[in-house]
Amino acid sequence: MTLALPFQDTYRHLPAEFFTRLDPAPIAAPSMIRLNTPLAQALGLDPARLAGAEGVAILGGARVAEGSAPIAQVYAGHQFGGFSPQLGDGRALLLGELLAPDGRRFDLQLKGSGRTPYSRGGDGRAALGPMLREYLVSEAMAALGVPTTRALSVVATGEVVLRERPLPGAVLARVAASHLRVGTFQFFAARGDTAAVKTLADYAIARHDPALTGDYRGFLAAVITRQAALIARWMLLGFVHGVMNTDNMTISGETIDYGPCAFMEGYDPATVFSSIDHYGRYAYANQPRMAQWNLTRLAEALLPLLAEETEAAKAIAVETLGGFGPAFQRAWSAGLLKKLGLASVRSEDAALVEQLLELMQAAMADFTLSFRRLAEAAEGETAPLLALLGGTPEAAAWIAAWRERLGAEGDAASRAAALRAANPIYIPRNHLVEEALTAAEHGDTAPFEALAAVLADPFTERPGLERYATPAREEERVLATFCGT
Ligand code: AMP
Ligand code: MG
């Protein structure tokens, strides 16, 4: 019996210039490295069948599932500020769309499935390490409650991919609310194809904002609000995306493309990880500005739909884009207050937040632990927090002032519980991610499995997992991460 996936495609019925119909390139010897069983179940798929020979072949791109007509989607994008009029899925294929039992529609995409007409110079392949990195970090983000694409599986191809050195090849199966990007709109706008921009906008609205049919201004505002909230969520966790090009920014508001991303340890707003981000364009603190820059590109692409007169359309775009700053500030401030355990808002709270961030920066305090240790400090155990914040009289004074302020919030037990629910103990620390990927490249997936299990439950501190909650020692520190090409 063949494994038929219940694909219900809509994108493939858009005009031909939106994609290229193409099957995955053959691979030597697919073998399952990791299947995301809970995610498969949430999608209404049978994990046992996906783990079987036919499932592995399909998730590795070695064969096409019955009912699937894979496509490579075309898009454009500004990469580090420079515009490429045509990018597109250069090493990915959309296998089809699935309706989950809860009624939500998802794309199932393979990444690393071979060359496409959009590969430019690339080989269309992916290495095992970067695909496992995307698996770990995207699944960690999901467990942390951040909107994100998901990872359904990683299948080793049995082939070697040539990068700076030969590496084992792999294919990631990615699940997303859609793969519509700011760059998808830019592709058609750059060609002056207003009819296609409208078709795409109508499609995106139907898929993500069905209440906004025909309301392109409302649609732009909705994307802006989603992205503002998303960037705030990233920053509240110390996450640096690293490659916020317009082709890596979704319309759905999900985080996509886990290349040179990382969670910062010592708090420094100027933190950059990407080895190719020489000017800090996508540094931690620059992310809201860059998101707004990208959304400005989306607004430009939508201009012909916003009003008939160009000047009127521009005025609408500018006004709508003006919503980003306040939306980000609202999400950021509300998130910080929550991280400090403050449910009610008082006028002095903003200063309290500001002072904590200053103390953290001065001490280069571990971002994740500084917030997490607030819970113990709330319970009276202030020494670990004080040590993290540099042990200074200023830090001690801050802790005392914060504890006094916190006293106005509920009872002691619920205060600590709220702090623990807002501040994770486990995040994908870069040195642990690298350790897991290096072992996996050498055939040992145990560290990957262990790390994935820890990150699946990031808010519950468990005995025996101390090393997962400990920042890198000087010699362990990974200062740069590399694009997954
Ligand atoms: P990314 O930096 O992963 O967002 O990719 C940017 C563009 O490069 C996209 O169009 C990708 O499909 C393409 N790309 C990345 N790696 C490869 C590769 N190995 N082969 C072909 N295209 C690639
Ligand atoms: Mg990309």
**Across 222-234, average pLDDT:** 98
Final residue of a domain: which of 148, 176, 204? 176
List, for residues 398-422, the tens digit of each pLDDT value: 999 999 999 988 888 899 999 999 9
Q: Which of 57, 127, 176, 131 is nearest to 448 (CA)?
A: 131
Kindly report the protein residue whose alpha carbon is nearest to atom 1 of ligand 1: 257
Look-up of token digits 């980003």: 324
Domain end: 383, 406, 422, which one?
422
Q: Pick the residue whose CA is nearest to atom 8 on ligand 1.
A: 90
Report if pTM > 0.95. yes
Question: Is residue 131 one of the residues assigned to a domain?
Answer: yes
Report helix angle 216-236 to 324-339, nearest 10: 30
* Ligand 1 nearest-atom number relative to CA 484: 3
287-306 and 310-321 helices, crossing angle to 10°: 150
Share of the chain above pLDDT 70, in %: 99
Q: Is 86 in the pocket of ligand 1 (CB under 6 A)?
A: no
Tell me whether residue 230 is in a domain: no
**The total number of structural domains that make up the chain:** 2
**Which atom in ligand 1 lies closest to the alpha carbon of residue 116?**
21
* pLDDT band at 4; cut points 50, 70, 90: confident
Domain extent, residue 344, equals 340-422
Which residue, of 422, 441, 464, is where some domain finishes? 422
Give the relative orientation of helices 287-306 and 194-208 as an angle to the nearest 10 degrees: 120
pLDDT at 1: 47
Percent of the chain with pLDDT over 90: 94
Cβ(259) – ligand 1 distance below 6 Å: yes
Q: What distance in angstroms lies between residue 466's CA and the mean position of ligand 2's atoms?
A: 34
Q: With helix as H, strand as E and coil as C, how does 441-473 read?
A: HCCCCHHHHHHHHHHCCCCCCCCCCHHHHCCCC
State the closest ligand 1 atom to the C-alpha of 89, by its place in the atom list counted from 1. Answer: 12
Arithmetic mean of pLDDT, 37-45: 97
Atom of ligand 1 nearest to the CA of 247: 4
Local structure of residue 13 (DSSP, 8 states): G
23 flagged as catalytic: no
* DSSP-assigned beta bridge partners for residue 154: 34, 172
208 lines ligand 1 (CB under 6 A): no
Q: Which ligand is nearest to the CA of 134?
A: 1
296 lines ligand 1 (CB under 6 A): no
Instruction: Decide: 124 in ligand 1 pocket, CB within 6 A.
Output: yes
What separation in Å is there between the alpha carbon of 89 and the centre of ligand 1? 7
Residue 480 has pLDDT above 90, yes or no: no
Q: Is residue 449 included in any domain, yes or no?
A: no
Report residue 479's pLDDT band, with 50, 70 and 90 as the boundaries.
confident
Statement: residue 121 has pLDDT above 60: yes
Domain membership flag for residue 281: no
Check pocket membership of 89 for ligand 1, CB cut-off 6 A.
yes
Closest ligand to the CA of 482 = 1
Mean pLDDT along residues 234-259 = 98
Measure 179 CA to ligand 1 centroid, in angstroms.
14
Catalytic residue among 107, 247, 257, 366: 247
266 falls within a domain: no
* Residue 287 included in any domain: no
| Ligand 2 center to 20 CA (angstroms) | 17
Specify the residue for token string 């775009």. Answer: 317
Determine whether 389 is exposed, middle or buried from the number of CB atoms within 10 Å of its CB (0-12, 13-18, 19+): buried
Q: Is 188 within a domain? A: no
Asked if the structure places residue 369 within a domain, the reply is: yes
Task: List Cβ<8 Å contacts ≥24 apart for 16-19.
Answer: 17/74, 17/193, 17/196, 18/73, 18/74, 18/196, 18/200, 19/71, 19/72, 19/73, 19/74, 19/94
Residues with Cβ within 5 Å of ion ligand 2? Answer: 248, 257
Give dist(CA 6, CA 354) in Å, integer. Answer: 51
In this prediction, residue 145 carries a pLDDT of 98
478 pLDDT higher than 90: no
Among 91, 125, 483, the mutation site with the greatest number of ligand 1 atoms within 8 A of its Cβ is: 91
440-456 pLDDT, tens digit per residue, is 999 999 999 999 999 99
